[in-house]
Structure 1
Amino acid sequence: MRHAVVIGASMSGLLAAAALSRIAGRVTVLDRDELPEEDVHRRGTAQSRHAHGLLARGLEVMEQLLPGLTAELTARGAFGGDLQADCRWINEGRRLAPAPGGMPGLLVSRLLLEGQIRRRVAGLPGVEVIGESQVFSLTRSGDRVTGVRLVSDETITADLVVDASGRGSHTPAWLAELGFPAPGEERVEIDLTYTTRVFRRRADDLAGDPVVIMAATRAIPRAGVALAMEGDRWIVTIGGYGDAPPSDHEGFVAYAKSLPAPDIHELVASAEPLGEGRHHRTPASVRRRYERLSRFPRGLAVVGDAVCAFNPIYGQGMSVAAVEALRLGEWAARDRPAGELFRSIARVVDGPWDIVVSGDLRLPGVRGRRTPKTRVINAYLERFHRAAEHDVELGRRFLRVANLIDPPRALLRPACLFRVFRGAMGGAGGSRGVGTQRREPEVAGLDQA
């Protein structure tokens, strides 16, 4: 392949470029935003002001695509830990049993992570990352895409065009213009709004634990995450399904008190706030079913949020994009029809999508199709999380799924079923994780949900 063009210089586009650089003579990454050398917020990445999770599988693949990345991020202030021993995972208001789990994690802000990846990708042989270059349309010859036309009317020819432009992808409209069918969409209406504030971090905050991840419950449809990050800071994001957390400090702290467990409230109630609060709203999780199309132009691919935009509270987007970049590189090296790529991407997306959809559909305000299978699985997972409060092995297995190492069906294997139902019958002893007490709905302070 002589030349590949990637639309979008966010995480998905940059990782796609890293994968393609191994097989293409030239890779050009185009983004409509100005791309300064410094790690600063930009218009095209509105969520960069909010907490981002980097899952174990995502970190592993990023290191594979860009060897030495972890060490570079650590040198710039990121730091690691054990995802089970050092993190407070709270499901159904209960802390997953902490213990060394053998899964390394990396705590780093989205700004630093994306900035360092952009610097690495721009330094790869044959790769050019260009800002202030907005793509207007695709060019074609017969049933093959041959390049892109910019808003400036400049045309750039390419053997492959990759749309990594995110939720606002124009590919469905471009396909219609080219005479091809648009993909079907699946949507789960979540009406999620979250607010983020940054706080100064002290060594004894949360007894030294650097992470709290707290899922919403059916009784309390509010969630939150607190992540330590470089510069001795906390980034804390809290949100609700159908309601919006206040952005002022006092309102933020009061809202945090209504979460399913007290950990995040205890942190923000005593920490020093830095800067202003920021809102973000995600109306729906959206999946575009490109793998089901019978016709698709050659020379075009779609990855990242342009294929599937998850509920961001689950922290899966960056890690899924990294795995998709691997699949893109493998496919492009074989020069196969696009359907093969989309089927491969669908297999990557299936597990995370099932996690998100099943998790959200258990909440009463979320609109979507609830099947008997969904109800049974959600009832089982509630029992699973009760047992995992005391069962270290169940906790390890849950984290392998949550971090995209194992598929969701791994939680239904006989060994898990036995431990879950043994725990439900009182066979697992132990006490709750330190620092977490389950909050009952009647004391949650819910006046809006």
Structure 2
Amino acid sequence: MSTVGNTPRWLAVAALAKIKNGAYSNLQLNQLINDHQMDRRDINLLTNMVYGVIQHRLTLEYWLTPFVRHPHQIDPWVRELLLSALYQWQYLDKIPQRAVFNETIEIAKVKGHPGIRRFVTGVLHQMDRSGLPSFDAIKNPDERLSVTYSMPIWLIQELRRQLGAEKMERILSSLNQPAKQALRVNPALSTVEDVTTALINDGLTITPSEISPLGLIATDGQAINTEAMRYGMFTVQDESAQLVVPALNPQPNDRVLDACAAPGGKTTQIAASLDAEQGGTVVALDIHANKVKLIGQNAARMHVADRVEATELDARKVETQFNAESFDRILVDAPCSGLGLMRRKPEIRYEKQLQDSLNLQRIQLAILTAVAPTLKKGGIMTYSTCTILQQENQDVITKFLADHPDFELQTTPTERDLKTDRTEKTLSIYPDDYLSDGFFIACLRKK
């Protein structure tokens, strides 16, 4: 077989076909990177192509449509091959068009039969001759925005309704920029200075986060493959997600409940601020046994296992195992639609509907209602999501407080005094604010 079978372009097409069939982009990519010996440049190209095609899928499909007469008759992998060629041609300016077309045709030849090779060659040459269709031809303004930013129309309309047209378009534009490689230093084991030095020595470029004191941004390499990562000096965690635990503000001798804890990023962050000798513990719940095991593994890697009790339990049934007023603080990092993560997990945008947020709202309220009695009087309960829709954010808090007059909303604190001009007490971080994930954090005190 031709050597084309191990190139980033070949692997990208294979990954895209599986992701379109329901596989997760991040897991699919990790598996390919682990299974194939690739240098850093090839890993970067593979990652860029897979995320790029998913991110811009609606745009790429709009461009491809006029050149494919019978779209349902072509194999899924051939469609992904053409979309990935379009993506490279239009978005990757360092790769010459000739190289893109030649390798695309070569992949069609090796992976398919002569008819597929002729078809792919014909489509590419026709696109080159005719030029791609303009967005200006789309008369409906929402449809035009949808194709321009590759976002579903329902989400465009909902964000406009909630945040206004200008903010909506800033968010859409920011979500197609590449995600940052954000790290959180583990203060139980190391310091920002030591981790920075260790990673620079491994050839990475490191800059401090502007929004989280323990945050670092890594470029020019994979931080996950370093000794410092294996030893637990830091973990991979988005800057926005790093704000949740400081808002909860656990004290060294607190007993804390992390109600929806897997895979344990925030659990280990809570645990790092506790002192096991003073009785500080975090009870970390998850509904699935394999995820409880994952929490335990993360706690061990981050050297905080002596402060973590990983427990298999549905947070909605917390009263079956814990008495009233058992905890000083409670974190509900609730299951959500994940729409704040679209830069990192671009396929989310095509999988969700508004109804999903409304269904999740019921689960989010049920969890808050179930865990509330286990919080001590004067204790803090922090609610967070990684979504940007008010149905799962402000609306949940408003409904919870209406049914629980023994709780009051407090202003969400941040160590860097973020968004001090905001009028609401909750904190909403949108993807365009700091180019981090979209997040929502609310702090509730039990009177």
TM-score, with length taken from structure 2? 0.24
Greater helix fraction, Structure 1 or Structure 2: 2
Bigger Rg, structure 1 or 2: 2
Greater strand fraction, Structure 1 or Structure 2: 1
TM-score, with length taken from structure 1? 0.24
